[in-house]
Structures are given as structure tokens and as C-alpha cells.
Amino acid sequence: MASCVLALGSNLGERAGTLEAAVAELAATDGIELVSVSGTALTKPVGGPAGQPDFLNLVVRVETTLAPLELLAACQAVEQNHLRTREVRWGPRTLDVDVITYGELISDDPVLTLPHPRAAIRGFVLVPWLWMEPDAMLGGTPVAELAAAAEDSADIKHFHDGPLP
């Protein structure tokens, strides 16, 4: 079994419901066991076209018997269940599921680079991960240190169900 971190985000449609359903779908996938789920973060879009709605983001830790590319395929299948389209890089989306880490595997495979090549600078990944695992490390560096340095971390808030700002 490999211990993996996955990051989920949504800024279109019923974001909270989409994330909740996606976590349940991942947990129900053969070969994936859900270990923990972070709190949900309300985040500003990073990159991509201007004027996008805010995102809801969370991270999960899973244990899996799936090979790395099989895990990626499972994540993409969950995205497709939620009508994910890939029209504009970093554009608005119903659901994004990224493989951040796969055990201690380091890979520069262009299909699945591990750890995720931008995870160390993305507060919207690091802050929820820190909420879930305060002592987490990414590439030998504490996630807390990386989160403190990420440009988008300062604007991240805990999301609470109810009317959005």
C-alpha cells in the first residue's frame, strides 16, 4: 500500500457538494482507502483567466494498492463524473483532483510528475494539508514552512457552509 495525498478543488456549481461527493467516490474506489480529510478552504483563483469564482479546496490522505498511473486514472474518472472540462489552463472547473504525493516516489514522468510540480508553492494545497497533518513534509521540507512562504496562503480562509461572501 502506498500512502498518498490528493488535492481537490472546485469553483463551479455546487462546490461543497461536489467535493463531498468526490471524496466519497474516491473512498468507494477499489484499491483506495480513505485515511483522512482536511477542512475545506475558501481560496482565490491562482493563475488562469481573471474573474473566476472563488474555489473550495481540500486535501485527503489515502492508502492505495493502485499503481501511480492507475490512481491518476481513478482521480480523472471522478473528475469526469462531475463533468470536468479542460478548455482553459487553470480555468474554472467543476472539479479538479490532483495526485500530490505517491508515497516517497519521485518521478519526472510527463503524465504524472511526483511530487506534484507546483504543490510546494500552492497555498490552496499546503494550508488544508497543514490543517490535516501539522507535521507533514513535502520533499524534505515541512509543509508549514512551505505554506508560510506561498503567496496565496494569506487569503485562505476556512469555509463554513452557508451563504458565501
Of 98, 108, 155, 161, which residue is the catalytic one?
Answer: 98
Which cell numbers hold the place of 87?
A: 478548455
Catalytic residue from among 96, 122, 135, 152: 96
* Annotation marks residue 96 as catalytic: yes
Active-site residue flag, 15: no
Residue bearing cell 500512502: 3
Catalytic, out of 15, 30, 54, 84: 84
- The CA distances from residue 119 to 13, 34, 90, in Å, are 25, 20, 14
Q: Is 54 a catalytic residue?
A: no
Q: Which of 61, 93, 122, 152 is catalytic?
A: 93
98 is catalytic: yes
Say how far apart CA 60 and CA 142 lie, in whole Å: 17
| Residues carrying an active site annotation | 84, 93, 96, 98
